[in-house]
A and B are shown apart, each in its own frame.
Chain A
Amino acid sequence: MKRLRSILGNSGAVLTLALAALTPFLLYGWFQSAIGAAHLRIDPTYSGGEISHVIERQGYRIVVNRPVPRRSPLQRIGPFVQITWTPADRLPASLSDEVDLDGDGVPDVRVAIDTQNLVVDVTPLSARYRPMHSRGVTSFSALIARVKDGIVVRIPIG
């Protein structure tokens, strides 16, 4: 028994050495692939949620995400819906769009954006959404920001 334990212990030590040598060539790639294959997603309060539908306009697109609800009573970031105007470089200096957020064909909010100064005015056309006037980031659930190739607006719900 003692001999077996000793053999196992020494084998473990050799294996550790082998694992250290294999880390940059094999382990790192394997583990990274495994995590990538786990179908994890970034929390929607950060990522903005999945894309629901896209509205085509002249020269640009409006990408509407699914609403991000509050999923825990202790969660401090309130529910919101994220909309992105893209590509940012081709947007006019100011624009106003009526946007259907829930995909039923009826506009839910009117959004007016000053794309140069990143100021947004949201007028709700449905009781579900709150009015918003924001310059830059007010909170995680109410903001206008230039993110990569788009202008992102988050409108609070409820």
Chain B
Amino acid sequence: MPDRVLHTPRRSVGKSLLLTLPILLWSLLMFSRTMMEPGRAPKLAAGVTLVFMVALFFQMMRTLETHRWRRYFFVALGFLFPVGFIWQLFALRGSMSIPVERMISGDTPFCFLAIPMMILPAAIAKTVIFPGSILPTTSNPHAIAAMVAIWLAATLVLGKGWCSYGCFFGGIEEGFGAIPKKPRIRRIDPRWRWMPWAVLAAIVLLSAATLEPVYCMWLCPFKAVTEYPAVRSFETAVQMGVFITLFLGLVVVLPLLTKKRTQCSFLCPFGAFQSIFNKTGAFDIRIDQSKCTPCVLCEKACPTMSITPEAVRSGQPLMSCMKCGACVDACVRDAVVWHIKGTDSGASSERARLMHLYSAWAFAVMFGGSIIAGTLEKIFGVLA
């Protein structure tokens, strides 16, 4: 058992409130439109979401921890997004299956997971291989331009932090992974970490060759909790079987057994794609060799196996790091710290954390917060 530095620093309530004030003002701005909508449900939903997001940020300031409080938001987003989405589907057409009519009319909402597959055909033939619409319409506000614009902005602000603050699916497995106290499976072959890159290569090449969104058609586990082609043939039955198997296996069962985000670590091609943008972000995590023992607490805490002995020796996590903050919070020797690229490692790590959190939480309130509020509005509308 390593020496534990008894170390539970806290910031004063006053200072924490002061630091939370910008987020409070930002949240008021972001939810003001919803609060002005007629009826009690939107006001209540906006109010609850605002209090939730501000309270979590306050706790991040007060406890100097990031991961635990971020996770509450992320799990809420992961579970409430499918609830709201499925609710809307049943209200519109009474079913989760996508009718072909909806695809032909361009009303399929665009999902960011399809972005890597769209790039080559769009660049070469100016054609978007997705049954949606380019610009938002009254029947399809979630058009391609809208979703890609959000993704572009998120990538500039967060890099791969999208996977910790933006992805509205990742919270599902993070929630299941948080349930058990200890993992049942501790040893995972690290070579599985390369699978998302292989999936990315395969779907990009196949989508360019077949002019079909191959991942959406064959491999996306989140089809099980959103929309899917109606099961009318052997082919669509197998597709549905694959979606459900991958969802149950990688999003529910394996996170329960390993306490890791196994879908993100071993399948998600979008996560692999987004890893590239870790090179462009302003913030990263550094490991101070002079303080590291190594006790491997950070390695055990990392939900995506981005900290390995080699990564510790090199002084930073692998490029699959999602900037969730679990490793920083787990380290008892302050060896793992937040860092602004270009500056000295270890210098003003709390300043780096604050600047990262303000950016990330501003985005989270704007994007994830609006999704949470939208679903709560539906729920309160029924209960009221």
Contacts and interface: CB of A to CB of B under 8 A. Distances in A.
A146 B99 CA distance: 11
Contacts of A72: 209-211
Contact of A40 (B128, B149, B156, B340): B128
Contacts of A146: 101
B362 interface: yes
Interface residues on A, range: 35 or more
Contact of B130 (A24, A46, A137): A46
Interface string A71-95: 1101111000000000000000000
A45 B154 CA distance: 31
Nearest to B358: A17
Contact of A42 (B127, B209, B358): B127
A145 to B, nearest CB: 5
Given A47-B106, A72-B210, A145-B100, A5 B134 contact: no
A143 B100 contact: yes
Interface in A6-52: 6-10, 12-17, 19-21, 23-24, 27-32, 35-36, 38-48
Contacts of B257: none
Contacts of B295: none
B374 to A, nearest CB: 15
Contacts of A43: 121, 127-130, 211
A129 interface: no
B144 interface: yes
B106 A46 contact: yes
A148 interface: yes
Contacts of B363: 20, 23
Interface in B259-318: 281-283
A44 B103 CA distance: 11
B150 interface: yes
B122 A40 contact: yes
A147 interface: yes
Nearest to A38: B126
Contact of B149 (A6, A28, A71, A77): A28
A31 B210 contact: no
B249 interface: no
Contacts of A30: 149
A60 interface: no
B153 A27 contact: yes
Contacts, number: 153
B280 to A, nearest CB: 9
B135 interface: yes
B376 to A, nearest CB: 20
Given A13-B282, A28-B150, A41-B127, A46 B104 contact: yes
Contact of A48 (B104, B128, B148, B360): B104
B238 interface: no
B106 A35 contact: no
Contacts of B362: 17, 20-21, 23
A100 B252 CA distance: 55
B227 interface: no
A26 to B, nearest CB: 9
Contact of A76 (B128, B152, B156, B212): B212
B245 interface: no
A109 B211 CA distance: 28
Nearest to B233: A139
Interface string B144-184: 11101110111011000000000000000000000000000
A84 B122 CA distance: 27
A135 to B, nearest CB: 12
Interface in B17-50: 26, 30
A92 B5 CA distance: 82
A5 to B, nearest CB: 4
Contacts of B343: 5-6, 9-10
19 contacts: A5-B343, A6-B344, A12-B340, A16-B156, A16-B355, A23-B362, A23-B366, A31-B145, A31-B149, A32-B135, A36-B134, A40-B122, A43-B121, A43-B211, A46-B131, A48-B104, A71-B211, A72-B210, A148-B105
Given A23-B157, A27-B152, A152-B101, 10 more contacts: A8-B342, A12-B341, A16-B156, A16-B282, A36-B134, A41-B134, A42-B127, A43-B211, A72-B211, A143-B100
Interface of A: 5-10, 12-17, 19-21, 23-24, 27-32, 35-36, 38-48, 71-72, 74-77, 137, 140, 143, 145-148, 152
Q: Which 10 A-B pairs have the closest CB atoms?
A: A9-B342, A31-B149, A12-B282, A46-B131, A35-B145, A20-B359, A5-B342, A32-B149, A20-B362, A23-B153
